[in-house]
Amino acid sequence: MKSKSSSTQSIALIDANNFYASCEQSINPHLRNKPVVILSNNDGCVIARSPEARALKIKMGIPYFKAKERLNRLGVVVLSSNYSLYGDMSKRLMNLLKNYSEEMEIYSIDEAFVSILRPKDKSLHPWARKVRCLIYQSLGITLTIGIGENKVRAKIANKLAKNINSSAGIFDLVRIENENDYLRKISVENIWGIGKQTSNWLQSKGIKNAKELRDMDQDEIIKKLGVVGKRLQLELKGNKCLPIEINKKPKKEIQVSRSFGKPITKLEDLTQALAIYAIKASAKMRSQNLKSSTITVFTRTSHYSNNPYQKSAHKKLINATNNTSTILKTVVALSKEIYSPEYKLSKAGVLMQDLTNCKYLQQSIINYESQEDSIKSISLMKTIDSLNKKFNNKAITWAIAKKPQDWTMNRNSLSPGSTTDIKKIPNIIV
């Protein structure tokens, strides 16, 4: 651990503001300075808002059918979630940020921790302003940058940068004189790593903000929260306990699931849905150099159904695989185990479990795959993935995914994927 007085290395949390809405406004200039909301899967609830929509006091999480009339009356632009757009913009954002940091940890689709060395004058404001200008010029997205000695204080600095108008989107918690005044502004429930139960316990002890948590008796924290609580308090004091994680921890499972646009009752529809999800999950595994040895499928009715039903089934494979053809055979067979004709199914999904790295794969002596067959399988999957990446995700697929689908989730206000599909790039008429 390094104390804040002995290190010139700082950590910044870089956060893209209103990311989903900002992505939509970036690719469609007509949406700029207009209130925009993004809906969840199946156009269910509001999951993102532009600053203009926030100003109209549109609540996060409100069901669209309840807010529809008011949104129309206020002239709010309503869009379906476009995850391919947001994922692509996130990749572009992170690739740009890599060039302006020593180390970087991608924390979420719109957040990253970066390690940055302070210059001789100790001021990181010029660096932060340069990064903000670069991202806005390149992607049309505004950033908030919080700087601290460690991750917890960088998170706090980021919150302060958002809430203090005079900060202009940048706040350096290291270079301030009245630190206690700022830490008092951060309530305990808004501290990174503090959950609801912990927050309730702290408040019952009279601990209401970051300053009071920092100064709380350490023995009491350790007794209740253990090493996690001790580490959190040490970071509040300026010590570095949580390193930048450059290499992501390997995933334990990969899940692809969706709600249906309308309930389904036919086995062929359930099988097709699960097959499409399996195709996506297989491609995800290959992109992360992983293979699965356990495949699980599940389905359920709506939570509000008067005739509830949910069921899952799984199969343990002899050899771990990421070959879509092999996985599809298993998923199709498993779909028959979870289907019941008397229920209206509203959601289904697949899980790839017991994931292993392809480099350390051990073959089974019972169903041994020859080296020649293995090379052919890998080559075929690489070719399919390469073509789909070059053109679009449906350039090459399996026949089962091509049948007409009337159960797909509602996305009635989907913006064009102009950054991922060459056919949807807007035409410029001179």
Q: Give the start-to-end residue ranges of the domains of the chain.
A: 253-402
pLDDT the model gives residue 210: 95
pLDDT band at 365 (very low <50, low <70, confident <90, very high): low
- Answer yes or no: is pLDDT of 395 > 70: yes
Question: Structure tokens of 232?
Answer: 């959190």
Tens-place pLDDT, residues 295-313: 999 999 998 889 999 999 9
Render pLDDT for 69-104 as a digit per residue (tens, 0 to 9).
Answer: 999 999 999 999 998 899 999 999 999 999 999 999
On whether the pTM is more than 0.75, the answer is yes
CATH topology for the 253-402 domain: Dna Ligase; domain 1 (3.30.1490)
The residue written with tokens 């948590």 in the block is 213
If pLDDT is split at 50, 70 and 90, which confidence band does 363 have? low
What is the pLDDT at residue 292? 94
Place 427 in a pLDDT band, splitting at 50, 70 and 90.
confident
What's the mean pLDDT when you consider all of the chain?
90
Rg (CA), the chain: 25
Instruction: Give the model's pLDDT for residue 368.
Output: 59
